[in-house]
Amino acid sequence: MTTRPFIGITMGDPVGIGPEIIIRALADESLYALCRPLVIGDIDVLKRAAGIVGQNPLFHPVPDPAAGKYVRGTIAVINPCGPFSGPVEWGRPTPETGRFMEAYITTAVDLAVSGKIAAMVTAPINKEALKMGGSPYTGHTELIAERVGCKRYAMMLAGDRLRVVLVTIHMALTRVPAALTPEKIQTVLEITAESLRSRFGIVSPSIAVAGLNPHAGEGGLFGDEEARLIAPAVDKARQTTGATITDPLPPDTVFVAAAAGRYDAVVCMYHDQGLIPLKLLHFEDGVNTTLGLPIIRTSVDHGTAYDIAGTGKAGCASLIAAVRMAVHQATRSAAGTERP
């Protein structure tokens, strides 16, 4: 990729911390050396956020990504919604903020599908606020996947030291064993291998698989899911991907080896199995990226933080990391894989 890619950044929930972390992040000149960041959101809200964090950028409303200037101190903004009809108060979502929030996302998706931006980065949204706006979706991932017609995707959370991919995501722990199937596990392993090659430039990925039970079942003493569900999926995924994939490993030690660089990613059976070690290492700068989509999407790894929205206390490390990862994936996807 010979020119800086266009990266669309959605403003997220207008009454959350999204606007202020965007202003903070775009004060970092290094991002402009990497990409051309375009915000999809509301200029008036962004101006209020700029005042809160002590910044004074120029805001440039644009009809199209190509119309932006993309220099530090000037923020290009596309607003697909027009002005808010009522007051926008920090930490107080309304049906209108919910509708606008969804429109920012769908606009970014459409820009990515059309090739006008190389990737999209999403600031945080609130699921209840999304529902208030009349959306049928439970979050970003489902909304984006349906918009692009994709049924085969997986969630990766990543930092410099650790990448984790989840087989099951938001569900009660008691439901996890029944939700695991060899087919589902195989699909996530395949998506992980494909994405490590195409999006991260790793030609020969090495993937660790965390067992479900303590000690990975201890030969069936603590459960049979490893032998009955996970191992068959691993065998098939090895054949279909050619990647190096481990047998189910004890969950209490696999992350130590992964963080030391032995594996390129760990496929985890449930949400907290992967998120606890990830956030221990990358609480400030973790990134959420959706694998398997025909477009590139990264996101901050935190919520709207209504309790501190509008106070100027929110940090932008995760957003900066998400933009950097989006650029990395876009560059790798354009250039092909490189690293053995």
Q: Express each pLDDT in 178-232 by its tens digit.
A: 999 999 999 999 999 999 999 999 999 999 999 999 998 888 888 999 999 999 9
pLDDT at 91: 97
The 119-122 sheet, strands edge to edge: 58-61, 74-78, 36-40, 6-10, 119-122, 297-300, 287-291, 154-158, 163-166, 265-268, 206-210, 244-249
Closest by CA position to 196, among listed 149, 262, 241, 253: 241
Q: Are 318 and 300 in contact (CB under 8 A)?
A: yes
Could you give phi then psi for residue 192, rounded to 5 degrees? -60, -50
pLDDT band at 267 (very low <50, low <70, confident <90, very high): very high
pLDDT at 338: 38
**CA–CA gap between residue 42 and residue 75 (Å, rounded):** 12
**Residue 270 DSSP code:** S
The strand pairing partners of 63, in sequence order, are none
Say whether pLDDT at 282 is over 60: yes
**Residues 284-316: tens digit of each pLDDT:** 999 999 999 999 999 999 999 999 999 999 999
pLDDT at 335: 54
